[in-house]
Amino acid sequence: MHINFHVLGTLANTIVDPISLNYKDIPNFPVSTVEGHQGNLVFGTLSNVKVVCMQGRFHYYEGYILQKCTAPVRVLALVGINKLIVTNAAGGLNPNYKVGDIMFIKDHINFLGFGGNNPLRGPNDPRFGARFIPMNKAYDRALIKNAKEITKKMGLEKSTHEGVYVMVGGPNYETIAEVNSLRMLGADAVGMSTIPEVLVAKHCAMTVFGFSIITNECISSYDDETEPNHQEVLKAINSKAESLKEFVTILVGN
């Protein structure tokens, strides 16, 4: 079973025999507040595989504590999910990345976690997993290999990368000094989500695959007059939605 998050909310429309539950009808579930994000848990099949799709996810910048943002991952673990596909919109830090490119997440930098803000903080619940968990194999190598073969066949090779995702708290986009420091840390793309869910998924031993859609190129020069904005982010996502739906459908079926 798989689940897919967020930017591919429209993927839920391709699910066969869907049963849709609105988040507001699920006790204690948070409700999305971001423009362009819906709030449904959609059960059904994709490529003959049973899936649950999260149409809309929860962000730290909305004001939820990380335990609340990630509670849906534990709900999904309890209904039997053991593979998680996470997607996000991200700014390209790597100068080779262009708007509309895809980055398979091979590793991450948990900026919030550096300061001790982690959804696994607090008493450990051993029904889900162990107190101390390894993260050096967080993103499944076999699925990345598989994903690369699929995008190659789809002719997307040139616009696909494998890189390091860094999460910052948001909701503001980064300053020039922040962009340059994140680059120095070795990050290829920056976003405001995903890592908390991955931590909770790894805690309960899920297999994880993730990718970012590069929605804007991060600005790293004081001479650059342009500014990032949410409209360009939504536009970049919409322009890639069809091919990404196809990609995820093939990946799930493989």
Where along the sequence are the contacts to ligand HPA (CB under 6 A)?
Answer: 89-91, 173-174, 190-192, 215-216, 218, 228, 233
Closest to ligand HPA by CB, 130 or 177 = 177
For ligand HPA, the closer CB: 15 or 99: 99
Burial classification of residue 100, based on how many CB atoms lie within 10 Å of its CB (0-12 exposed, 13-18 middle, 19 or more buried): middle
CB of 154 vs ligand HPA, minimal distance in Å: 23
For residue 149, what is the DSSP state?
Answer: H
How far, in Å, CA of 12 to CA of 248, rounded?
A: 11
Q: Measuring CA to CA, which residue among 54, 33, 35, 41 is closest to residue 197? A: 54
CA distance 166 to 139: 14
Closer CB to ligand HPA, residue 81 or residue 190? Answer: 190
Residue holding tokens 């990032």? 228
Q: Which is nearer to ligand HPA, 9 or 191 (CB)?
A: 191
Residue, CB closest to ligand HPA:
91
